[in-house]
Structure 1
Amino acid sequence: MRHVLFALIAAILFGTTGTAQALGPDGAASLSVGSARIVIGGAALALVAWVLSRRSSTALRDPMPGSPTSDMLSLHIPNLPEPDPQSSPVEKRRRAWPVVAIGAAAIVAYQPAFFLGTSINGVAIGTVVAIGSGPIITGALEWALFRRFPGFAWLAATVIAVVGIVLLSGAGEAGSADATGLLLSLAAGACYAIYALSAKQLLIDGWTPTGSVALIFGWSAVGALPFLLLTDLSWLATLDGVVMALWLGLVTITVASLFLANGLKALSASTVATLGLGEPFTATLLGVLVLHEVLSGRALVGLALVVFGLVLIGSLRARRPVPA
């Protein structure tokens, strides 16, 4: 149950992004803010990993592939090849680089896909498609790559929560959506799924939660830096801009990613993605309580369905026996 809580905390922190951006300076472009978020958060994660690695040689990697953590992870993805205990540290690091590159590229690509999708179809539909498709795509990729069906309980909880998100957003009330915008939002959901599976793969291969997110987000910060430098950065010259950038980078990336990685340590990527639907739930609550937005009756029903779906997936995990 502790790992379910970790994943939910990560979703809650991710859900503060929209409110923080709304309370920030008016002239800040979404792409500029998103790139700054990745650069600050990724650099901070890399710094945390470097400090921990100086204090302990096992801070980033578990030197014993047969540890209880590795055994637990093998239960979730049984057909994945086990790490080779005879491999040298250099070979293990070389094997990790393709996974890191794929995960980092997914994080960088998420920003333009998400923001372009919302600019075409609006924030409501774009966010619903991007975040709501994440669990489905993650489960499908996990099934295709590892030959592991996430389970009918996961499927039921995901469907209930996604329906709730659709109702919560009011999607479909304003007419049909543009196909190009939908494809871009689906691409954003796929980017999140690829990141979750990449982080999970590093954990299975012996990397610690801190090491896995530091590797992926650290290199994504390098990839996002050119995008940041090409945008208008005048908003960073204001106090509100600096506070917003630090919150988005340090809280919604650095802290949230550490919680997310610790959740992935003992949960399947598909389960974590479903729990991640708490992000739009949090964003909606903050919109009502902080930004004074008004919820319709349809949105209230959606809110209840999201809560039910998250509680269902959490209770199923809590009742599952813990491996010896």
Structure 2
Amino acid sequence: MPNRTSSTPAFTPTPAANRRPGTLAGPLPLLAAAVLWGTTGTTGSLAPAGAPAAAVGCAGLALGGLLLLLSDRSARSLPRTCTPRERRLLVLGALAVAGYPVTFYPAVARTGVAVATVIALGSAPVFTGLLAWLTGGPRPTARWACATSTAVLGCTLLVLGPQLGGAGATMDLPGVLLAALAGLSYAVYSLVGGRLIAHGHPSAGVMGAMFGAAAVLVLPVLLVGDAHWAVTPRGALVVLHLGVVTTFLAYRLFGRGLRHTSAQTATTLTLAEPAVAAVLGVTPLGERLPAASWTGLAVLTLALALLTTRRR
């Protein structure tokens, strides 16, 4: 088990090279999590009319977070067994998890889903690499920088393709800042999770402790607003999907991937999420993708292939 002394940097990335991957190790569970996250937009569009976007996201997080906490014994015992420094990291991770829905969904309302998605997901790998480096981790490699910048470019072309084709994009400065804060939140809890897993704690326990605490933190958002939409048949199905599939199952996979992959690489790999969302929009929703979006999808695929292919 790695050293837990107080001199250890708070955000040192998980040393992937020191861990022996199993059958479902490395990029595979991370890409699987991105596939599940890619269904979020389609599911959210099916919420009852008038349901606040932030409340929908917080409801999914509350359900999924409690499932992650209650389904794993190590998640409930982790706050007692970890060191004071790790306990502070858990608190920081929980705050970051809770911060994502309360910043991302308002950003979507102000700038539109396309712009908010590009800024949040595109900035997260950059924040992750910089934070890991600034807090004592290794300097980002040229391979990671090349793959990440290419993936961000592909994601931008993919998601903003319709706007580039002539449709106007709604965007304002507060919305852009909120989306960037969502990307920062994602980066922080990815780094915290990777750090705690690197200390030898089980990935399911780390995810369960962070998301369980975050579920409690977002409950006031649900209690203050009108939650009548959540008890309708359609609303309940939406919350069930967001809670069980895109939170509980997805973050179990994400935590497993963090055990064998650095947080920098993990946040870049999850840029596959908008690709899944785009394909879902084309197939069941009958949307059309312009040539710029298809080009972005190809560029994103190449970048992820570059990142997941091991060098000899």
Same fold (TM over 0.5): yes
Change (3 A) 1:222 1:292: same
Coordinate RMSD, CA, aligned: 2.0
Larger CA deviation: 139-148 vs 22-31:
22-31
Deviation at 1:180? 2.1
Aligned to 2:71: 48
Provide the C-alpha distance between the structure 2 equivalents of 1:239 and 1:179, rounded to a whole number of angstroms: 37
In the alignment, is residue 205 of structure 1 matched against residue 199 of structure 2? Answer: yes
Structure-to-structure mapping, 1:1-324, within 5 angstroms: 2-50=25-73, 92-170=82-160, 173=164, 174=168, 177-315=171-309, 318-319=310-311
Change (3 A) 1:228 1:90: closer
* Corresponding residue SS for 1:13: helix
Deviation at 1:161? 0.9
The one-character-per-residue Cα deviations of 1:89-115 (angstroms, maximum 9, x if unpaired) are 957343322111111111111112112
Which runs of 5 or more structure 1 residues have no equivalent in the other structure?
Answer: 55-59, 62-88
Deviation at 1:26? 2.3
Deviation at 1:175? 6.3
Deviation at 1:243? 1.2
The one-character-per-residue Cα deviations of 1:209-251 (angstroms, maximum 9, x if unpaired) are 1111011001001101111111221112221111111110011
TM-score (norm 1): 0.83
Identity %: 37
* Corresponding residue SS for 1:2: coil
Question: How many equivalent pairs are there?
Answer: 285
Larger CA deviation: 238-247 vs 272-281:
238-247
TM-score (norm 2): 0.86
Provide the C-alpha distance between the structure 1 equivalents of 2:170 and 2:279, rounded to a whole number of angstroms: 26
Change (3 A) 1:284 1:226: same
Provide the C-alpha distance between the structure 2 equivalents of 1:295 and 1:266, rounded to a whole number of angstroms: 35
Deviation at 1:121? 1.6
Provide the C-alpha distance between the structure 1 equivalents of 2:36 and 2:75, rounded to a whole number of angstroms: 26
* Corresponding residue SS for 1:25: coil
Change (3 A) 1:238 1:91: closer
Larger CA deviation: 228-237 vs 165-174:
165-174
